Structure 1
Amino acid sequence: MRALKLVSTKTLSREEWLQWRHKGIGSSDAAAAVGKSPYTSPLALWLEKTGRKAAEDLSQKEAVRWGTLLEPLIAQAYAEQTGKKVRRVNAILQHPEHPYLLANLDRVVEGGGILEIKTAGLRSQGLWEEGIPEHYRIQVLHQLLVTGKSWAEVAVLIGGQEFRTYRIEPEGGELSELLQAEQAFWQHVRDDTPPEADGSESSGKALQWLYPRSTATLVDYTDHAAMNALFRELLQARAKRKAAEVQEAILEQRMKESLGDAEGAVFELGKVLWKSSKDSRTLDTQKLIQEHPEWAEPYRITKPGSRRFTVQAE
């Protein structure tokens, strides 16, 4: 199986490229589509793919900008270290049987492989100690699914000075499982029905964006068995969280009692710190407004209200 070349990217503007991305699931979307992205939930991705919300422009973020600048250097380092030739693929690729599966490749490798190029800061170095982070592995598996290729390698530059390579070959039914999960997500896009929220911060923001204002409506679920069961689970979860928070506060306060005025302590499993922060100067805006309200008036703005979720048990 060979991927189709959907469109050349040589002369595509960023806006045009984003429009093509709306037509399917790209490799950088794959982890989000199957609920494995640490940044984007399926619900947030669904908002983008259905055209409800524009995708965030990451191109000017420092990490992304430096990743783009370093990409050709990392590709060159990979070629020199491995002795394998690499080349660009200036096209958006499309699965021949599932046209909504798309991929952009950093490079292809002689011998039929794919090269995915990454940069990582020192703060994220730990994510690579056990191998390729899961969401990046899914990204590469998606590329293999689209292209029909049997292997890929990931070249990563960590902290600007440590170069590593990792090989990926699909195991067992990985590709078929990924295909099924992506099909399920894309069905939500086709049907224009949102996937379930998954408890992530991304899903919370997506729901707030999807339903920004409330109406004066109180839904009666008193005779709705499923919703009443959900409410009971919510009450139980909140009770457990409250008990855990109280226990944590007790343990923290006992630790502070033991520390006294010491700034911290070390233990067999780690350490705690209770350090004083530096004094800072700040503006007493409340006093300023009280004494000179006319100064503040030109700077007042109206901020849209947000929706607050509260739970009241009978």
Structure 2
Amino acid sequence: MLWWAFLCLEENAMGMSEKVIQKQRPALRLVSTKGLSRDEWLRVRKQGIGSSDAAAAVGMNPYQSQLELWMVKTGRDNGLPKPDSDDPASPVYWGHILEPIVAEQYSQQTGRKVRRVNAVLQHPDPEKHWMLANLDYSVVADDDVQILECKTAGEFGSRLWNEGVPDYIQCQVQHQLAVTGKQAADVCVLLCGQELKIYRIERNEELIEALYVLERQFWGFVETDTPPPVDGTDSAERALRHLYPVDRGEILDFSQSKELSDAFDELLAIRKEMEALRSTESHLKQRIESQMGEASKATFPSGSVSWKRSKDSVGLNVKQLLKDQPELLEQYPLTKPGSRRFLIQA
């Protein structure tokens, strides 16, 4: 599946050259991470594309777009929301806490010894100096596998593992193999806190070459300070709103741009189609509701629907409170920054 995804992506990249595979020198230790603060570590990561950046750099990360990653690499990410590794409600927090436990269980189940790699590694080829990697663990003295990548996945994230290692994780691991010159990695994942699975990923030279071409294209956007194209994801939308938070009142005439004019016409057509679909959806839902009456649930050969009343809740009537005590607004003001709205007129 990953290979076909790369074939599609490669159509937008420069052609891959066929070359003889030569034995690669060991990765360079760019900086030791022992005693390195998180802020310092993040600054080092901005010097290149790390293994956890690889999927986003080639447009295959379901959680981060190329545009959002570009903002991070160019220092424009101050306003972007970031996962808090100290927040117990964050998956990043539990991933950090559980990582050594996953590694220990891997060792117990496989009999392989592992050790931490306390360094940011760099590709030894000067032309690929921007390819960096952080490894969770290395596998000690084993001819079959040399790298261990530890993962955790909750109820939602575990669905991405139904067919094996998700594509974006495979990108991460192939990037690690590219930087280190190693031949294989094990991915050990703890699913929903109770099921441990181990997957072997072998080095694939064709995938690595495709990764290099596409990552180099992305790094060119960083070097030239040029935003990469948007991709329609929530991440790209979030990045755009932080990149261009205010408007300056200027009016642009795109009537001479066939590309943008076609995009606008297609947008209008899709909006009309969506309105028709929403109307049809409401009609079908109401037909079922009218027959359910006071029933809580209805079943069908292909599924079921529920129609239940939620519990009553108590809230604060702020409008009435300010009407009775208007001085509270002056005592406890709260300014909410405005946001740009995309409105269509036709």
TM-score with structure 2 setting the length: 0.86
> Aligned match of 2:50 in 3, 10, 26?
26
Q: How does 1:42-57 map to 2 (within 5 A)?
A: 42-54=66-78, 56-57=82-83
What amino acid sits opposite 1:9 in the alignment?
Answer: T
- Following TM superposition, by how much is the alpha carbon of 1:269 offset from its aligned partner in structure 2, in angstroms? 2.4
> Aligned match of 2:210 in 173, 177, 194?
177
Q: Which residue of 2 aligns with 1:148?
A: 181
Are 1:166 and 2:199 counterparts? yes
- Following TM superposition, by how much is the alpha carbon of 1:302 offset from its aligned partner in structure 2, in angstroms? 2.5
Check the 8 A contact 2:95/2:151 in 1, yes or no.
yes
Residues in 1 aligned to 2:275 and 2:230: alpha-carbon distance in whole angstroms? 23
Q: Which residue of 2 aligns with 1:82?
A: 110
Residues in 1 aligned to 2:292 and 2:85: alpha-carbon distance in whole angstroms? 46
Q: Which residue of 2 aligns with 1:265?
A: 298
What amino acid sits opposite 2:51 in the alignment?
Answer: S
Q: Which residue of 2 aligns with 1:282?
A: 315
Check the 8 A contact 2:174/2:204 in 1, yes or no.
no
Q: Which residue of 1 aligns with 2:101?
A: 73
Aligned to 2:106, the other structure's residue is in SS state helix
Alpha-carbon RMSD: 1.6
**Per the alignment, do residues 236 and 170 of structure 1 end up closer, same or farther by CA in structure 2, a change over 3 Å counting?**
farther
Are 1:186 and 2:244 counterparts? no
Aligned to 2:198, the other structure's residue is in SS state strand
Residues in 1 aligned to 2:203 and 2:272: alpha-carbon distance in whole angstroms? 43
Q: Which residue of 2 aligns with 1:12?
A: 36
What amino acid sits opposite 2:76 in the alignment?
Answer: R
Q: Deviations over 1:138-192 (max 9, x none)?
A: 1111111111112111111122221110111245721111111111111100110
Q: Which residue of 1 aligns with 2:87?
A: 61
What amino acid sits opposite 1:59 in the alignment?
Answer: S
What amino acid sits opposite 1:106 in the alignment?
Answer: D
- Following TM superposition, by how much is the alpha carbon of 1:285 offset from its aligned partner in structure 2, in angstroms? 1.2
Are 1:223 and 2:261 counterparts? no
Residues in 1 aligned to 2:325 and 2:197: alpha-carbon distance in whole angstroms? 61
Check the 8 A contact 2:83/2:92 in 1, yes or no.
no
How many matched pairs? 313
Pick which of 203-212 and 58-67 moved more: 58-67
Q: Which residue of 2 aligns with 1:107?
A: 137
Residues in 1 aligned to 2:32 and 2:162: alpha-carbon distance in whole angstroms? 36
Q: Deviations over 1:78-124 (max 9, x none)?
A: 11211222121111011112111111001111325210001122343
Residues in 2 aligned to 1:171 and 1:143: alpha-carbon distance in whole angstroms? 12
Residues in 1 aligned to 2:226 and 2:284: alpha-carbon distance in whole angstroms? 45
Q: Which residue of 1 aligns with 2:149?
A: 116
What amino acid sits opposite 2:308 in the alignment?
Answer: K
Aligned to 2:188, the other structure's residue is in SS state strand
Aligned to 1:92, the other structure's residue is in SS state strand
What amino acid sits opposite 1:75 in the alignment?
Answer: A
- Following TM superposition, by how much is the alpha carbon of 1:65 offset from its aligned partner in structure 2, in angstroms? 2.2
What amino acid sits opposite 2:132 in the alignment?
Answer: L
**Per the alignment, do residues 24 and 276 of structure 1 end up closer, same or farther by CA in structure 2, a change over 3 Å counting?**
same
Pick which of 291-300 and 4-13 moved more: 291-300
- Following TM superposition, by how much is the alpha carbon of 1:292 offset from its aligned partner in structure 2, in angstroms? 1.6
Pick which of 248-257 and 171-180 moved more: 171-180
**Per the alignment, do residues 162 and 309 of structure 1 end up closer, same or farther by CA in structure 2, a change over 3 Å counting?**
same
**Per the alignment, do residues 29 and 61 of structure 1 end up closer, same or farther by CA in structure 2, a change over 3 Å counting?**
farther
Residues in 2 aligned to 1:105 and 1:122: alpha-carbon distance in whole angstroms? 25
> Aligned match of 1:240 in 254, 273, 298?
273
Check the 8 A contact 2:182/2:203 in 1, yes or no.
no
TM-score with structure 1 setting the length: 0.94
Residues in 1 aligned to 2:294 and 2:45: alpha-carbon distance in whole angstroms? 57
